[in-house]
Amino acid sequence: MRRRGLWTVMGVGALALGGGLLVAGCGTVGYLAQSVQGHLSLVHQARPVDQWLADETTPEPLRERLALSQRIRDFAVAELALPDNRSYRGYADLGRPAAVWNVVAVPELSLTLKTWCFPVVGCVGYRGYYDRAQAEAFAEGLRQQGYEVRVYGVPAYSTLGRLDWLGGDPLLNTFIRYPEGELARLIFHELAHQIVYVKDDTTFNESFATAVERLGVQRWLDLHATSAAREEYERFDARRRDFQALVLRYRDRLAQVYAGAGDDDDKRRGKAEVLAAMRAEHARLKAGPWEGFAGYDRWFEEANGASLAVLASYTELVPGFEQLFVARGQSFPQFYDAVRELARQPRDERRQALTSPTIAEKDPAR
C-alpha cells in the first residue's frame, strides 16, 4: 500500500476558478490563467462513473472503488445533507500523483502565513499549481525574498460548486484507492466547502470542512463499513491525531520562541531546538505506538515554520464546530444553518464564538 502522509490525506481547500481576470494584476492574471487551464484539462479527462462501470475494459479493482465512491456520494446527500450535484460523479486518471501542488510561506521568524488575494475566493494562505515545476519555481522566488516555504502535493480541491455546469469536481486517481474511511473523509471534506465558504478566512473554511469530514466519516463507518474497514480507519486516524497534537504542541512552543525577548539569532537557535525536539518525539512515536509507521517521515524531515503554520488552519477551530454540531441536536441541516449565521458575522466575532467554552449557550442561530 502506498504510504500516505499529511498532505495526501488532506483536501487542498477551496480553489475557485473563473471570472475577474480583467481586474487582476499581471501576475495574478497569469496565475489564474494556469488555474483555469489546469482545471479545464482535468475536467476534459473525466468521464461519468456510470460509463467507467459499464466499460468492460475498466480494471476490476478500479470498478470496485468507483462503485464504493458512489455509495459514499449518495450517503453524503441522504445522511449528511451535502450538495446533490455532479461533483464526484465522474472520474479522471491524471497520470500524476497529485491534483495540484500547493505553495505556502511564512516570514523567517513568524508563523503567519503569507496570503494571496484573488477574485471570488478572496485572500487565502496558499497558491496551487497544476504543474509541480511551476510551483517549485514560485517557491524559489519566495525563498529568495527571505520566506520559509513548503511545497506539497494534494489529492483534491473544491471549486465551491460553482463549476457544476462543467461537470463538477471529479474523482481522481490521486485518491480513489484510499482505504474506505479515508475516501469517504476526503469526499465529505471537499463537498463541505460547497456548503459554506467565507472569503479571507482560510482557518474558518478548512476547520469547518474538517469537522464535517470527521462527523461524516464516523457516521459512515458506524452505518455501512465492515469491521475491518472500521479498524483500519481507527488505526490510521489515531496516528493522524497523534501527529496533529504533536505538531500543534511544538507550533505553540515555536510561537513562544518568536514572541520572546531575544534577538533574531537567539530566535533562530530556539527554532532549531524546537524543530529538533519535535523530530525526536516523532521518532519515539514511530518506534513505539506507531509500530514503525513511516507515513509522516518526509513531513518531519522537511518541516519548517511554514509546515507548522499551515497545519493549524485545518484544525484550530474544529472543536468549536464539533460542539456547535452537538448544540444543534446533531442535525446536519441545522448545523449548516448555524455555520452560515456565523459566516455572516465579523471575523473576530465568529472566531470568539467558536473558541468560547460555552458555545452551546452562544449558538448564533438560536
How far is it, in rounded angstroms, from Cα 173 to Cα 40?
A: 17
pLDDT, tens digit only, all 366 positions of the chain: 333 333 333 333 444 433 333 333 345 677 888 888 888 888 889 999 999 999 999 999 999 999 999 999 999 999 999 999 999 999 999 999 999 999 999 999 999 999 988 776 778 888 999 999 999 999 999 999 999 999 999 999 888 888 788 778 999 999 999 999 999 999 999 999 999 999 888 889 999 999 999 999 999 999 999 999 999 999 999 999 999 999 999 999 999 999 999 999 999 999 999 999 999 999 999 999 999 999 999 999 999 999 999 887 788 899 999 999 999 999 999 999 999 999 999 999 999 999 986 665 555 545
Nearest to 7 by CA among 314, 318, 316, 250: 314
* Whether 161 contacts 14, CB under 8 Å: no
- Reading the block at residue 233, the C-alpha cell is 480507519
* Whether 83 contacts 195, CB under 8 Å: yes
How far is it, in rounded angstroms, from Cα 185 to Cα 13?
A: 13
What per-residue confidence (pLDDT) applies to 1? 32
- Reading the block at residue 147, the C-alpha cell is 520566506
SS3 letters across the chain: CCCCCCHHHCCCCECCCCCCHHHCCHHHHHHHHHHHHHHHHHHHHCEEHHHHHHCCCCCHHHHHHHHHHHHHHHHHHHCCCCCCCCCCCEEECCCCCCCEEEEEEEECCCCCCCCEEECCCEEECCEEECCHHHHHHHHHHHHHCCEEEEEEEECCCECCCCCHHHCCCCEECCCCCCCHHHHHHHHHHHHHCCCCCCCCCHHHHHHHHHHHHHHHHHHHHHHHCCHHHHHHHHHHHHHHHHHHHHHHHHHHHHHHHHHCCCCHHHHHHHHHHHHHHHHHHHHHHHHCCCCCCCCCHHHHHHCCHHHHHHHHHHHCCHHHHHHHHHHCCCCHHHHHHHHHHHHCCCHHHHHHHHHCCCCCCCCCCC
What per-residue confidence (pLDDT) applies to 123? 83
Backbone angles phi, psi at 123, to 5 degrees: -95, 130
Kind of pairing between the strands at 100-107 and 127-129 = antiparallel
Backbone angles phi, psi at 92, to 5 degrees: -140, 140
Measured in whole angstroms, the distance separating CA 194 from the mean position of its chain's CA atoms is 14
What per-residue confidence (pLDDT) applies to 363? 53
What per-residue confidence (pLDDT) applies to 21? 31
What per-residue confidence (pLDDT) applies to 358? 61
What per-residue confidence (pLDDT) applies to 27? 55
How far is it, in rounded angstroms, from Cα 345 to Cα 350?
A: 6
What per-residue confidence (pLDDT) applies to 166? 78
* Whether 285 contacts 246, CB under 8 Å: yes
Beta bridge partners of 124: 116
What per-residue confidence (pLDDT) applies to 314? 80
